A and B are shown apart, each in its own frame.
Chain A
Amino acid sequence: MHARLEELISLRDRQPVDAATVSHVASCAPCAAEIRRLTALRADMTQLPDFAPPDLWPLIETRLGAAAQSAPRRRWMQLSAAGSIVALVLALAASLPQVRVANPVLSEGASAQVPLETLVARSQRLEATLRQLPQRPAVEVAANSVAIDALQSRIQRLDMELASDAAMESDPDRAQELWSQRVSLLNSLFGVRYAEAVHAGYRATREEGSL
């Protein structure tokens, strides 16, 4: 029986193999030839031509600069994004009087049909799912960071309003509307965070034999 390929590769790489295999290969011309072939193949691989890279520096420099500027500008961008949403809603309200201004996220029908208890449960499930996602990558994409920060800020503002007893007790419709918005925002936040995690290599499961 000839040596296995794995053993021949180990011999090529001067890795330890059992004595019986060494003894066999020493007296087996085909196995010795196979080691020579493997050695030559490795040499051929190292001699393959390189790929010439495109000039990526302008893009890298831009992204480096954008990230450096994003931190101090983040608050301004959040306010700007929020202002844009408000402006858009107001413009829609002006042109389409039948659209409710109070809820920029969910359609009126959607919020009216879902019971409050269901919305609260959905909200809790989404938060639990978000906690299962990995930590955000060390190298952030500026656009993701801005979007995530904006969504989290809006959720915090909603939470402040929901924490007010007056809002919950005096106006059940308003409470339901706020919870609807919270579910929608959590959904959006999960979408961004999941996409970011997948881009960074996150995987929920790993199939045997695959990467």
Chain B
Amino acid sequence: MSTFLDVQVPAEWLRRARAGEAAAQRSIYSALARPVYALLRRLVLRPAVAEELAQEVFLEVLRNLGAYSGAGSFAGWVRSIAVSRALMHLRSPWHGRLLPEDAEGAGADRAAPRGADEECGSDLERALNALPDLTRSIVWLHDVEGYTHAEIGRLYDRTASFSKSQLARAHAALRDALEPRTGDQECTLASRN
């Protein structure tokens, strides 16, 4: 569950961190490390990539504290940086070619078979991990993080309609993965035709 909005960063920490005080910078990191890392794991899956991106997110945040205007929550500002970083990675031409160097983590996330040990997560977790990057990131940003279709459209340089159609595609895939259709299933939705 997204916990960004539960995080309150005192203005005093920000002031001291802007002045370069390491203890305040660390306090900010400690308060936000978990939601940042968890979000990145959901978006990019691979643990090593999420760790690298998390470092970059905090470096960007801590070096650019002056850019935070104070409008909106600080945690929300950090979340927007984390999302931006994750999407930049997913857009990268190198993405997809990094698998060999992190095959263990990726394998655990991407191809966890049913009945695997507890660390592989629930059926829902496996179904989410099996989605393509694009649809997985959109369903997570919309349904869990609460981004609007307009916001998602802007993030992907597309339209709100694009976000809506991708979200529907993601949910169709999740439904197929979680509730395999049977012959007498009742609702035959037009989107499946």
B137 to chain A, nearest CB (A): 8
Q: Is B74 interfacial (CB 8 A cutoff)?
A: no
B1 touches A199 (CB 8 A): no
Q: Which residues from chain B contact A45 at a C-beta distance below 8 Å?
A: 124, 128, 139-140, 143-144
The interface residues of chain A lying within 8 Å CB-to-CB of B88 are 200-201
Residue total for B at the interface (Cβ-Cβ under 8 A):
66
Task: Please tell me if the beta carbons of A60 and B58 are within 8 angstroms of each other in the complex.
Answer: yes
**Chain A residues with a Cβ under 8 A of chain B:** 1-6, 8-10, 29-31, 33-34, 37-38, 41-42, 44-54, 56-57, 59-61, 63-64, 67, 138-139, 198-201, 203-204, 206, 209-211
| B15 contacts A by Cβ under 8 Å | no
A211 touches B34 (CB 8 A): no
B91 touches which of A3, A10, A201, A209 (Cβ 8 Å): A201
Evaluate contact between B164 and A6: CB separation under 8 angstroms. yes
Which A residues lie within 8 Å of B125 (CB)?
48
Number of A-B contacts (CB under 8 A): 147
B-side interface residues toward A, CB under 8 Å? 1-3, 22, 25-26, 29-30, 33-38, 41, 47, 50-51, 54-56, 58-60, 62-64, 87-95, 121-122, 124-125, 128, 133-134, 137, 139-140, 143-144, 156, 164-165, 167-168, 171-172, 174-175, 178-179, 186-192
Docked CA distance A124–B47 (Å): 43
